[in-house]
């Protein structure tokens, strides 16, 4: 395990005088697991262990066209897995799950998220990231694009619901046929799912019945978009079109897909949905929507860049995870973790300093925040434990203590002089 600390400044006041001093504090994280293949969702099980989904690296099987990569294909394999982290160790406890990815293992879709119901039963959400009409026709019998119920003891699973087929049959947003279920939650006896490819929020019973669209996320029109230049660094060939295919001069207005990435339930009973946004991944263009009983999304918070996950704590604070602080094709994948209070105050708990292209977060029973880091990189994925409580930097604490002594002495000296003048 590795422990790193990162400075965050805050304002404090010395009680011996009416003066202020900045004291450096640090938020620390520990690496709990490393070397994962496209690490995605994570959740604590009823046994107290942390479970993580790995989307895998595809394989050498048949391939389907990628709707984003223009000419590249996603090839099928059974490299998806669920990994269990417990007592300082981690190991794969469910293997052979379906996965598709580009030939280099990037752009993977497979096991995307894991949740446990009130009885402790696990469910795994499988992505797909392609046209659902091609799934059965080309790949054949596969559980990509479905919710499954796994049995960790027998390394087996059964299908609960086919989300990709819902997109094929209904296509709620009327756009291209693409399905990529990315994140879900269990709300009583129901699943609530975001389909990043279909741009919708789905609901269904926990037994797979009554599958329906709850809300559609709106497309935004970007004015004066910034497109990648010839020196850009494609962070994911499945997301960024080849440079040569882009116009020399971007259009004045450009439609940007919402690409919903996560859903969380607020204390008000509404669902909150984050956007990753589609190409060209505008900086500050990602929003968090609130979806109430009427199914109409309204903007709850905005100004983010490529959000990947959300979760509320018991006090109503919302934690949001940002994949990259810049449009990721710029090559800088430093990311941020935010805390948004119920009154809208926003704090950056961790920015950069080792946080890179994270894909998911969960709040632990110990008060820590757990994050899948480097989530889009085969063989490089990590799970981090982040302590949100700042830890004083020793050098700053000593400096502040010394300053406090000095100020106290000055205060005492001034008071003594004043007393002599009065007397």
The answer to whether 75 and 61 have CB atoms below 8 angstroms apart is yes
Q: pLDDT at residue 117 above 80?
A: yes
- For 29-392, give the CATH class: mainly beta
Q: pLDDT at residue 133 above 90?
A: yes
In this structure, what token pair is assigned to residue 255?
Answer: 């439609």
Please give the sequence-ordered ranges of beta strands (E in DSSP) within 62-219, or none if there are none.
63-65, 73-86, 89-101, 111-116, 122-126, 146-151, 156-162, 181-187, 190-195, 200-205, 212-216
Residue spans per domain, the chain: 29-392
The HSE-up count of residue 375 (CA atoms within 13 Å, CB side) is 34
Q: pLDDT at residue 13 above 60?
A: no
Residue 120 has φ and ψ, to the nearest 5°, of 90, 5
What is the full DSSP assignment across 279-334? Answer: TT--TT-EEEEEE-TT--EEEEEEEESSEEEEEE-TTS-EEEEES-SS-GGGS--E
pLDDT tens digits along 18-27: 232 223 345 7
In this structure, what token pair is assigned to residue 228?
Answer: 């990648």
pLDDT tens digits along 35-87: 999 999 999 999 999 999 999 999 999 999 988 755 689 999 999 999 999 99
Element (DSSP H or E) covering residue 220: strand 220-223
- Convert 81-113 to b/e letters by CB count within 10 Å (16 or more is b): bbbbbeeeebebbbeebbbbbbeebbbbbbbbb
Residue % of the chain over a pLDDT of 90: 74
Nearest to 88 by CA among 29, 1, 3: 1
The sign of the dihedral angle between the CA atoms of 32, 36, 39, 44 is: negative
What is the structure's pLDDT at 412? 42
Residue 188 gets which letter from DSSP? T
The answer to whether 164 and 179 have CB atoms below 8 angstroms apart is yes
Residue % of the chain over a pLDDT of 70: 81
Asked, as a colleague might, if the bond just before 280 is cis with ω within 30 of 0, I would say yes
Q: Which residue has the tokens 């709620």?
A: 172
């Amino acid at each position: 395990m590795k422990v790193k600390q990162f400075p965050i400044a805050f304002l404090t006041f010395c009680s011996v005088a009416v003066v202020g001093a900045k004291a450096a504090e640090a938020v620390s994280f520990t690496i709990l697991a490393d070397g994962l293949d496209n690490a995605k969702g994570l959740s604590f099980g009823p046994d107290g262990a942390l479970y993580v989904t790995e989307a895998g690296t595809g394989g050498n099987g048949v391939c389907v066209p990628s709707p984003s990569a223009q000419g590249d294909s996603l090839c099928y394999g059974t490299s998806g897995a669920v990994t269990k982290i417990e007592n300082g160790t981690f190991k794969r406890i469910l293997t052979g799950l379906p996965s598709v990815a580009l030939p280099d293992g990037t752009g993977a879709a497979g096991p995307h998220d894991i949740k446990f119901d009130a009885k402790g039963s696990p469910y795994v959400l499988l992505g797909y990231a392609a046209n659902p009409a091609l799934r059965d026709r080309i790949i054949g019998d596969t559980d990509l694009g479905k919710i499954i119920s796994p049995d960790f003891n027998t390394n087996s699973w059964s299908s609960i619901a086919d989300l990709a087929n819902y997109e094929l049959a209904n296509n709620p947003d009327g756009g291209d046929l693409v399905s990529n279920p990315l994140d879900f939650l269990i709300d009583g006896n129901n699943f609530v799912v975001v389909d990043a490819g279909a741009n919708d929020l789905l609901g269904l019973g926990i037994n797979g019945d009554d599958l329906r669209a709850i809300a559609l996320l709106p497309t935004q029109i970007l004015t004066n978009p910034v497109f990648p230049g010839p020196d850009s660094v494609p962070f994911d060939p499945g997301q960024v079109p080849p440079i040569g295919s882009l116009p020399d001069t971007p259009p004045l207005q450009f439609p940007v897909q919402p690409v919903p990435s996560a859903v969380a339930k607020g204390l008000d009973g509404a669902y909150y949905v984050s956007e990753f946004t589609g190409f060209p991944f505008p900086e500050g263009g990602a929003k968090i929507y609130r979806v109430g009983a009427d199914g109409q999304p309204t903007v709850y918070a905005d100004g983010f860049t490529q959000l990947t996950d959300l979760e509320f704590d018991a006090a109503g604070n919302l934690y949001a995870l940002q994949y990259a602080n810049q449009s990721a094709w710029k090559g800088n994948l430093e990311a941020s973790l935010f805390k948004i209070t119920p009154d809208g105050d926003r704090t950056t708990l961790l920015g950069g300093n080792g946080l890179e292209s994270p894909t998911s977060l969960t709040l632990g029973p110990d008060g820590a925040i757990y994050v899948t880091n480097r989530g889009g990189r085969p063989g490089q994925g990590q799970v981090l434990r982040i302590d949100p409580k700042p830890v004083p930097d020793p050098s700053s604490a000593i400096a502040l203590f010394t300053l406090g002594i000095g100020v106290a002495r000055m205060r005492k000296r001034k008071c003594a002089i004043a007393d002599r003048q009065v007397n």
